[in-house]
Every structure is written in structure tokens, then in C-alpha cells.
């Protein structure tokens, strides 16, 4: 891990905006592919792992001075989805469990008009977003470190997120904001949300565990030479 005096939420947001804008076509294409792959619901874990693999290859490849095409990213998505399906399936189980529980609470709250159950639903919604962020981070660990044990990847994901509590809270809140905005736009849930969540994971990982999100910004602006770290 690269030591930095403090994490930079503003720089991370700048990196997110820069990548999302520059790679908008890839964001849309990968979002659509993800939506199809996750349609059976139980395949959401492998779809998340494949999405993170594709976005990581794209962003880090561009940051290293390469040109990663949509075809390259789609190929990475397909390969990861097929080859690591079982691992991804296990990674997605916590998210499915929390989401199903929250949906059950919500249905009971509506049916019974219960304030207590409504509070439980709100807590469940926040827990769903936290779990979503954790699963995305576990997917990053699989992609970047070659982790092969899903339970360990999930555990290490939690440890990494707890190491930077303030930054993680901002990360979760921004992920929740993306969910709300895209849900409000309807079709954006399918054509934008998955890809944007993938971008968010890649740049936050770079900020907390890599060479810093601002390096991604500089690379996308063409201010880094190939192989340069700073």
C-alpha cells in the first residue's frame, strides 16, 4: 500500500467524473451487459466481479498509457464471468441475503403500516448499500491480488473499508446517491448505474490502496508518461 498523508475525497470525485466522462461509451456498454448477466438475480455476484475486472482493466490500462477498447473490456467481462463464476457467486451471496431481507421488511411495513418495520426497512436499505460497496471491494481484491477464497476476500474487504472509516462513509453515501439518482431516472439503472458503480470502485481503490485517484486524473489528461508513478 502506498503511504499518503491523508485521503483526498475531492481528488477521488474528480477522478470519478473524469473517467465517467471519458469512458462514457464503456460505462453504457458494460452497464447493459451487466444488466443482462445479472438478470437471473442469482448471477449478480459473478456479474459484479466481471464488471470490476473490466473497469479495472480499462482504467488502469488507460492510466498506464495504453488504449483499452470497448471490445477489450467486453472480452475481460466475458472471460471473468465464465472462468470465475463460482467465486463470484459466493461473493454475491451476502448482497442477495441483505437485499432479500430488506425487501421482505419493506413488504411487511407496507402491508402492516408499521413504523417499526419501516425503520427496519430504512436500516436495511443502508445495509444493502454498505454490503454492495463491500462486495465491489472484494471483487477488486480478487481482480488485483488474485484472491481465490471468496470468504477471505469478503473479510479483507471489510478490513480495508474499516481502515478508512471517514472515507468509507463518503464512499457509501456517494454510492447511495448514484442509486437514488439513477433510480429517479428509471432507465439509467440499466444503462448507467452498474458502470458508474464500477468506476467508483476503481477510483476509490486507487485512492485508498493504489497510487492515488489524482494519478488517474493526470493520466486521463495525458499528463503522465507511460510507467510514471507520480
Instruction: Give me 83's grid cell.
Output: 472462468
* pTM, 2 dp: 0.91
pLDDT of residue 5: 56
- The span from the CA of 54 to the CA of 77, in Å, is 5
- The span from the CA of 220 to the CA of 168, in Å, is 25
Q: Which residue, among 165, 158, 168, 167, has the nearest Cα to 138 in the 3D structure? A: 158
What is the chain's Cα-based Rg?
17
State CA 31 to chain mean position distance.
12
pLDDT of residue 63: 67
pLDDT of residue 6: 82
The whole-number mean pLDDT for each consecutive block of 10 residues of the chain, a chain of 230 residues, reads: 70 95 95 96 97 95 76 95 97 95 82 76 89 98 94 96 95 96 93 97 94 88 55
Contact between 52 and 140 (Cβ < 8 Å): yes
pLDDT of residue 110: 77
Instruction: Give me 226's grid cell.
Output: 507511460
pLDDT of residue 66: 72
Contact between 73 and 58 (Cβ < 8 Å): yes
In the chain, where the domains are located: 9-220
Amino acid at each position: 500500500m502506498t503511504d499518503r498523508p491523508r485521503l483526498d475525497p475531492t481528488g477521488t470525485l474528480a477522478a470519478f467524473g473524469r473517467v465517467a466522462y471519458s469512458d462514457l461509451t464503456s460505462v453504457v456498454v458494460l452497464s447493459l451487459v451487466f444488466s443482462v448477466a445479472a438478470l437471473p438475480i442469482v448471477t449478480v455476484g459473478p456479474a459484479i466481479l466481471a464488471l470490476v475486472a473490466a473497469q479495472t482493466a480499462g482504467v488502469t490500462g488507460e492510466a498506464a498509457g495504453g488504449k483499452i477498447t470497448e471490445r477489450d473490456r467486453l472480452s475481460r467481462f466475458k472471460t471473468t464471468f465464465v472462468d470465475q463464476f463460482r467465486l463470484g457467486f459466493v461473493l454475491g451471496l451476502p448482497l442477495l441475503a441483505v437485499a432479500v431481507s430488506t425487501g421482505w421488511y419493506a413488504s411487511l411495513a407496507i402491508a402492516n403500516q408499521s413504523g417499526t418495520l419501516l425503520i427496519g426497512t430504512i436500516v436495511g436499505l443502508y445495509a444493502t448499500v454498505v454490503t454492495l460497496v463491500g462486495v465491489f471491494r472484494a471483487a477488486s481484491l480478487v481482480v488485483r491480488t488474485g484472491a481465490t477464497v471468496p470468504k477471505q476476500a469478503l473479510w479483507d474487504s471489510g478490513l480495508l473499508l474499516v481502515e478508512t472509516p471517514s472515507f468509507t462513509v463518503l464512499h457509501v453515501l456517494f454510492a447511495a446517491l448514484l442509486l437514488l439518482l439513477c433510480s429517479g431516472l428509471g432507465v439509467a439503472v440499466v444503462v448507467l448505474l452498474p458502470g458508474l458503480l464500477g468506476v467508483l470502485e476503481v477510483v476509490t481503490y486507487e485512492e485508498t490502496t493504489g497510487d492515488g485517484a489524482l494519478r488517474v486524473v493526470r493520466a486521463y489528461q495525458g499528463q503522465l508518461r507511460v510507467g510514471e508513478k507520480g
